[in-house]
Chain A
Amino acid sequence: MIDLFRDTYRYRELIWALALKELKIRYKRSFLGFLWALLNPLLQMIVLALVFSTVMRIGIDHYAVFLISVLLPWTFFAQSLSYAADSIVGNADLIKKVRIPKVVFPVAALTSNIINFLLSMISLVFIVLLLRYPFYVTWLYLPVPFLALVLLTLGATFFFAALNVYYRDVSHILQIILQVWFYATPIIYPIEMFGKYQWIFKLNPLIFALNGFRMGVYAGGLPTGKSIAASFVCGIGALVIGYAIFRKKQDQFVYYV
């Protein structure tokens, strides 16, 4: 685990350059360029807000904010995983030619998605203003669930990136997994809907970090200490397991990519 931090620190400039490269390429040749990273989530949220405040009325107060507050971190998680699953295979050219710690590729993929996420949070500020929803002071707490989410995502990222080297089916299966996971997570619905069966949802390691976002932005409260602890147990657990698998296999990647 220490070598993960050591390599990340030593190659921080490379990781940053790779992350920027990914973003640059994503928005290359578009007139608005980088601005899309900001506009895209903003427009999406406006559509959602319009739909749920006028067309479909749901018995939840300010449903748009309720939804978006967890939809953004979810999107971060899902997109990071999709990108990172290809991060080793997609950089086969480099891996076969230069000696470089393999961790830089998933970490760079995650970094570019963190940048994207932070930009989408700016859009969230706009939306909340637009909807005249109150800004709770609990926004200040958001870095905490975000950190737990990043740890969890990084762990999952290592796992899928390594697995995809051996079985290319993984990147396809992952899309299905993410879809099921999306509906199995209380994102579009409140967990309270399920009354005494709520405990089933708590088997989902993602739920604790996402809960922090919904509490902070929508409810204006803080999660219980137990929930915060659970979010970090899940995050650190995922990272330890995911990285252990990645590390065990990384010297073999060059033969399979």
Chain B
Amino acid sequence: MSITSDGMPDNSIVIDVENVTQRFRVYQERPDSIRALFAKFFRYEIQVHDFDAVKDVSFHVGKGEMVGIVGRNGSGKSTLLKVVAGVYRPTLGRVTVRGTIAPMIELGAGFHSELTGRENVLMNGLLLGYSKREMKEREQKIIEFAEIGDFIDAPVKQYSSGMYMRLAFAVAIEVDPDILLVDEILSVGDMGFQEKCFERLRRFREARKTILFVTHNVKDVEEYCDRAILLDQGRVLLDGKPHEVIEMYSAITAASHPHEEVLEPAVGQ
């Protein structure tokens, strides 16, 4: 299963996911109150069951690769990305990441609506582990990329959703991490900006940086990724060339929704 592109030597693996299982405890009624605690204590009534969002998943990503992760809703894509980002500590297995990592998971999660764009840029950078000085150096580039002009000193609650998104994307890409985790974000924003984002991602890759990319849009996977991974019910169904993965993805999507058209049919082949 471990494919490094172009037979690169093993030491260039930057993301190493080994037999990772991510388990969530699902409470029928979560004991988030004292009442429920008493109930649990006296009657053992709270139903719990464990749910594995990601099951025994292994893969490597080599330096400079762009890997797409596809799968239906609930297949564990976002959970897997969060495990790689270090938000979750895997229940079983191990994740090794070499280099700085910037998650673009849900853009602008760290933005506070009362703070200005500039303050939020700094805050977001600090949250990603960069120093104030590093962020000041990058600030101009971020503002330019986001095409936000004088609005940078206005509270972000006054931003349009497009501006908000552009600024968040700009922060994540311009901090220039070694590894970028992208979750389904390029589907927002107008065509022009999307184009620009992909152009920027291309330059990012030319600098031998790594991208892990979750999406539903199989066309982007076909066009930009070196490799793709298909997840289904938390397991890796296929890890291989984008067109093979997309073909299989289309097949399982068609099988589960026989009456719906597959929106993005596999291209070619």
Please give, as numbers and ranges, the residues of chain B lying within 8 Å of A61 by CB-CB distance. none
| Total interface residues in chain B, CB < 8 Å | 30
Say whether B123 contacts A21, CB under 8 Å.
Answer: yes
Please give, as numbers and ranges, the residues of chain B lying within 8 Å of A11 by CB-CB distance. 126
User: B248 within 8 Å of A by Cβ?
Assistant: no
B interface: dominant SS: loop
Q: A94-B127, A169-B33, A169-B34 are in contact. Are A251 and B89 (CB under 8 A)?
A: yes
Say whether B105 contacts A97, CB under 8 Å.
Answer: yes
Say whether B115 contacts A94, CB under 8 Å.
Answer: no
Interface residues on A, range: 20 to 34
Q: Which residue of the partner chain B has the closest CB to A28?
A: B114
User: B170 within 8 Å of A by Cβ?
Assistant: no
Q: Which residue of the partner chain A has the closest CB to B84?
A: A99
User: B109 within 8 Å of A by Cβ?
Assistant: yes
Q: A13-B126, A98-B127 are in contact. Are A256 and B32 (CB under 8 A)?
A: yes
Say whether A17 contacts B109, CB under 8 Å.
Answer: no
A17 CA to B132 CA, complexed, in Å: 10
Say whether B127 contacts A167, CB under 8 Å.
Answer: no
Please give, as numbers and ranges, the residues of chain B lying within 8 Å of A24 by CB-CB distance. 114-115
Say whether A97 contacts B88, CB under 8 Å.
Answer: no
Q: Select one of A13, A21, A99 contacting B87, CB under 8 A.
A: A99
A132 to chain B, nearest CB (A): 42
Bitwise, A239-255 to B at CB < 8 A (1) or not (0) is 00000000000010011
Q: Select one of B25, B32, B88, B126 contacting A17, CB under 8 A.
A: B126
Q: Could you tell me which residues of chain A, from 82 to 107, have a CB within 8 Å of some CB in chain B? A: 93-100
A18 CA to B124 CA, complexed, in Å: 11
A93 CA to B111 CA, complexed, in Å: 10
Say whether B131 contacts A13, CB under 8 Å.
Answer: yes
Say whether B109 contacts A98, CB under 8 Å.
Answer: yes
User: A14 within 8 Å of B by Cβ?
Assistant: yes
Please give, as numbers and ranges, the residues of chain A lying within 8 Å of B82 by CB-CB distance. 96-97
Say whether A93 contacts B33, CB under 8 Å.
Answer: no
A159 CA to B85 CA, complexed, in Å: 27
A169 CA to B119 CA, complexed, in Å: 33
Chain A to chain B contacts (Cβ below 8 Å), 9 pairs: A17-B123, A93-B110, A94-B110, A94-B127, A96-B82, A97-B109, A98-B87, A98-B110, A99-B85
Counting from the closest, the 4 A-B pairs by CB-CB distance are: A99-B86, A14-B126, A97-B109, A169-B34
